[in-house]
Amino acid sequence: MDLFETQQGTVNLNQMMIKNIKDSDYVVIVLTEEYAKKSDGFQGGVGFETMLTIPDIKNNLNKLIFIMRHKGDYTKVFPYHIRDVYAIDFSNESNFDEKLEELIYKIYNVPLYNMEPIGEIPNLVPKKSIVDNTRSNNDITMELDDLLIPKVKEVTDIEKNEFMKRCYNDILGIFKSLLSKSEEINQNFSYELEEITARKAIIKTFVNGTLVTGLKIWLGSSMGMRENSICISSGNWINENDDGSMNEIINCEIDENKELKLKMLMNFLVSNKLMDAKEMAKEIWIKYIKNIM
C-alpha cells in the first residue's frame, strides 16, 4: 500500500501514516525484536507509529491486529506498552496457512471457532448449614473495621519532601544493585554511574563497550510545584546541566489511608497506580533500561 502511494508523487510519509491509521478499519502491526526496540525507544517511523496508535490501544484496541515473527523467545518482540496483547504467530513456516486463515477471519471480524451454547442452569437449593451460628467478638470486630474513621492527620510539605528524598535514595540504591549484579552475570555488559550531586545521578549502559542508553535521575521541583519531584530523562545523549527536558515526572500522592506513595504523571498505562519506592524502581528499570538492552 505504501509503495502504491509513494510512486505516484512526492509524499509526506508522516502525513500518510496519520491518514492511513485514522481512516482504516483495521491496522495490522508486525512485531519483531527490532520493532520492539524502536518502539520502546520512540525511534524513526516505528516510534511515530507507536505514538499514533497509543490512543487506540487505550480506547479502540480491536482496531489493531498484531502479528509476530520471533526467533524463539516471543516476549522479545513485544514493546513494553503492549506486552499483554495477543498476536498471531507467523514464526513457524509450517503453520503459515493456518495463521493466514486466522488473520483473514480477524480482518473480517468472524469468529474462528463456533462457540457451543451454554448448558441450562441447574436448579440448586441451598443446603442447611452445619456450622455453629455462634459469632465471636473477633467476627464482629472485623466487620466494624470498615466503619472506623480513617486517619485525620494532615501530611505537611516537609513530610512530603522528606519522603521524596528517601524514595530517591532508595530507587538509586536499587539501580546500583541491579547494575552491579547484571555486570557480574553478563561479561558483555558494563555501566557507568556518576552521582553529580546528592540529588542527581547519570547512568550509562554499554554492550561490548558500545553505549546502548543513558538515564538521568534527579530530585527537584518541576512544573512549578511546591514539592520535590523525581524526574527521569533517558536516551543516548544526556545533558547533566539541562533539567528542563524529561521523559517522566514522579510525584508523591496521599492514598486513602493517609500514607504517602509515588505516582507517575507521564505514563498513562500506570498513571493511576500508587507505588512504593521498590515498585517504582522496577517500573523505571524495565521501561528505560531493561527493555532497551
DSSP per position, 164-193: HHHHHHHHHHHHHHHHHHHHHH-TTEEEEE
- The answer to whether the beta carbons of residues 87 and 78 sit under 8 Å apart is yes
Answer with the one of 107, 141, 167 that is the final residue of a domain: 107
Give the DSSP per-residue string, 56-80: HHHH-GGGEEEEE--SS-GGGGS-G
Which cell numbers in the block locate residue 283?
517500573
User: 107, 126, 146 — which closes off a domain?
Assistant: 107
Q: Are residues 101 and 162 in the same domain?
A: no
Residues 6 or more apart whose Cβ sits within 8 Å of residue 289: 203, 205, 213, 215
Residue 214 lies in a domain: yes
**Using an 8 Å Cβ cutoff, are 283 and 262 in contact?**
no
What CATH number corresponds to the domain at position 29?
3.40.50
The answer to whether residue 232 sits within a structural domain is yes
* 3: Cα within 13 Å, side-chain hemisphere: 0
Report CA-CA distances (Å) from 280 to 131, 157, 204, 275, 283.
45, 21, 19, 6, 5
Give every residue of the chain whose pLDDT is below 70, as ranges.
Answer: 1-12, 129-146, 148-152, 222-225, 268-271
Encode burial over 70-86: b for 16+ CB neighbours within 10 A, e otherwise: beeeeebbbbbbbeeee
Residues 178 and 241 in one domain: yes
The percent helix, strand, coil of the chain (3-state, each to 5) is 40, 20, 40
Tell which phi-psi region holds residue 258, choosing left (phi > 0), alpha (psi between -120 and 50) or beta: left
Q: Does residue 100 share a domain with residue 166?
A: no
Domain count, the chain: 2
Closest among 103, 54, 106 to 79, alpha carbons compared: 54
Domain assignment present for residue 145? The answer is no
Q: Is the residue at 127 inside a domain?
A: no
pLDDT of residue 273: 86
Q: What is the pLDDT of residue 118?
A: 76
Do 180 and 275 fall within a single domain? yes
pLDDT of residue 155: 83
The answer to whether 49 touches 68, Cβ cutoff 8 Å, is no
- Residue 167, in any domain of the structure: yes
pLDDT of residue 88: 94
Structural domain that includes position 212: 157-292
- 39, with CB counted inside 10 A (0-12, 13-18, 19+), is buried
| C-alpha cell at position 140 | 464482629
Q: Which residues contact 48 (CB under 8 A, 6 or more apart)?
A: 14, 17
Task: Looking at the structure, tell me whether residues 259 and 165 fall in a common domain.
Answer: yes
